[in-house]
Chains A and B, each alone.
Chain A
């Protein structure tokens, strides 16, 4: 078994070395005339406004939380799939129990709207947009 993962390690190291050859080549033949403007952040030609390391919306975090729980459950199902054919009745019932638990979890977050990317429920705009029907809009 270990030799298989030894191959993986060797592949990782080899991939690095082989690609690094290209980097060395680039260092040898690539041009080196850097300037202030070249090193600027590219934001479509406009001068950069503020830092990019801003606060992100919580929905990314919610998705990741839900993902982890489902991921763990999928990992539990891998041993199940391997022994499913041989173990008969128990594993057959087990998958339905397990999937039922998953479905309850999915139904809960679905019903509570945690899977909704756009949380805004306004049908019409406010202020001077009061008359315009809002389309679903997305902001990061």
Chain B
């Protein structure tokens, strides 16, 4: 991607003075700035969405005052953070207090370098991309402990220590469940992982239900592994129900307690950046990344029609159960289905792989994370350790062995060769 942009820039005579290296550097800078803007916008949009989703789940309205439907609320909040006083407590360790948040932010941002957004858009197409993303996310824990310790505040230190214990505990199930998917194709390159998930096939290769060839539908063990990964990753990014490190009722705000203003914004950005990395990684490894669920124009038409039928059933269900007419899902899906049947170009667009699909899949996972928040009560620390070491870890090991056996039984690997 970097090379493509660089050679594209060198086509213009006016930029020739840059030379090969200069053009590459400018290209990297452009991509980096774009991604940084994406990370910042991601946090601002997600906070708004999270507040709205939370509100609707609790039959409230959420932010309504600033801008139409409150859409400018988080922009105003971000501006407010900028004009707040920068406070470093007098008993804090001044050096580590300044460094800690940066470690978290940079390790969260650098993870995006290996994430493929479309068949061609990937800043660094590393051959060990998956392992790389896992490794840089494990640096976050050091930043958390650093800022917690530096605050010289009991809440902060307790929160940081709990957070560190939690993150390291859940790293093992995360690694093992991702490995189960890697074993199926034998590559750690994220692009190759996605390319292996093209097309449509039978569910688990033998139940005659047509599903996309995503790894979650590849075999029953990977189906479980996807959920193990999602649960463990939720804990890794400290989101409810695993948000003990910042449990408001016991630890104020955990390791963030002493941080304010723009310094706190670093946590705020990296928290949502990490959530986005987890969502994108789930989409890439288990849900086919930028692959479209539809194989061709006809597939897109049929798929959208199935979706519209599901929406009709959903509408009836809501009408009968809650006596409420929920018209929007129905209207949107019917319009999309009609459009797909009328305009082949639109159907083709839906069938094309690209940014659209990874955005939809990642967005769905993020919505699920928000949904978890208002569905599950917070775990206690001992329950947290129980879930990680005694439920998810054995399950992830069984999955790995199961994938190996499944591949042998279905003939995907040849034992004598």
- Candidates A4, A16, A36; contact of B125 at CB < 8 Å: A4
Interface residue SS majority, chain A: helix
A12 contacts B by Cβ under 8 Å: yes
A99 contacts B by Cβ under 8 Å: yes
Residue from A4, A34, A44, A70 whose CB has the most chain B CB atoms within 10 Å: A4
- Complex CA gap A63/B169 in Å reads 7
Residue from A14, A32, A33, A40 whose CB has the most chain B CB atoms within 10 Å: A14
Across the two chains, which residue of chain B brings its CB closest to A138? Answer: B381
- Complex CA gap A77/B171 in Å reads 14
Residue from A7, A38, A84 whose CB has the most chain B CB atoms within 10 Å: A7
18-73 of chain B: CB within 8 A of chain A: 24-25, 28-29, 31-33, 35-36
Verify A7–B152 contact, CB threshold 8 A. Answer: no
Chain A: interface residue total (CB-CB under 8 A): 74
- Complex CA gap A111/B151 in Å reads 38
For A105-139 the 0/1 string (1 means CB < 8 A from B) is: 01000100001111000000000000000001010
Q: Known: A11-B123, A15-B110, A64-B165. Is A84-B153 also a contact (CB below 8 A)?
A: no
- Candidates A4, A15, A27, A56; contact of B32 at CB < 8 Å: A15
Verify B131–A78 contact, CB threshold 8 A. Answer: yes
B410 contacts A by Cβ under 8 Å: no
250-268 of chain B: CB within 8 A of chain A: 252, 257-258, 261-262, 265-266
B172 contacts A by Cβ under 8 Å: yes
Q: Known: A7-B2, A25-B82, A30-B86. Is A88-B124 also a contact (CB below 8 A)?
A: no
- Candidates B86, B109, B390; contact of A110 at CB < 8 Å: B390
B76 contacts A by Cβ under 8 Å: no
User: How far in angstroms is the closest Cβ of chain B from A138?
Assistant: 5
B278 contacts A by Cβ under 8 Å: no
- Complex CA gap A86/B413 in Å reads 7
In the bound complex, residues from chain A placing their C-beta under 8 Å from that of B185 are 85
Across the two chains, which residue of chain A brings its CB closest to B189? Answer: A82
B83 contacts A by Cβ under 8 Å: yes
- Candidates A42, A117, A140; contact of B252 at CB < 8 Å: A42
For B382-396 the 0/1 string (1 means CB < 8 A from A) is: 101110011001100
Verify A32–B85 contact, CB threshold 8 A. Answer: yes
- Candidates B152, B157, B172, B179; contact of A81 at CB < 8 Å: B179
Chain B: interface residue total (CB-CB under 8 A): 94
In the bound complex, residues from chain A placing their C-beta under 8 Å from that of B11 are none
Verify A23–B112 contact, CB threshold 8 A. Answer: no
Across the two chains, which residue of chain B brings its CB closest to A117? Answer: B382
- Complex CA gap A14/B131 in Å reads 22
In the bound complex, residues from chain A placing their C-beta under 8 Å from that of B86 are 26-27, 30
- Candidates A8, A56, A81, A118; contact of B183 at CB < 8 Å: A81
Verify A53–B157 contact, CB threshold 8 A. Answer: yes
- Candidates A96, A115, A136; contact of B404 at CB < 8 Å: A96
Verify B382–A52 contact, CB threshold 8 A. Answer: no
B106 contacts A by Cβ under 8 Å: yes
Verify B154–A43 contact, CB threshold 8 A. Answer: yes
In the bound complex, residues from chain A placing their C-beta under 8 Å from that of B162 are 140
Verify A41–B158 contact, CB threshold 8 A. Answer: no
Q: Known: A7-B2, A34-B85, A88-B416. Is A117-B404 also a contact (CB below 8 A)?
A: no
Extra A-B contacts (7), CB below 8 Å, given A54-B157, A77-B400? A18-B32, A39-B90, A42-B252, A53-B157, A60-B164, A74-B172, A78-B131
Closest 8 CB pairs between A and B?
A117-B382, A4-B124, A14-B32, A81-B182, A7-B124, A15-B109, A39-B90, A85-B186
- Subset of 21 A-B contacts with CB under 8 Å: A10-B28, A11-B35, A14-B33, A31-B84, A39-B88, A41-B151, A52-B152, A67-B168, A67-B171, A67-B172, A71-B168, A82-B182, A82-B186, A85-B184, A88-B413, A88-B417, A92-B415, A102-B397, A103-B397, A106-B389, A117-B382
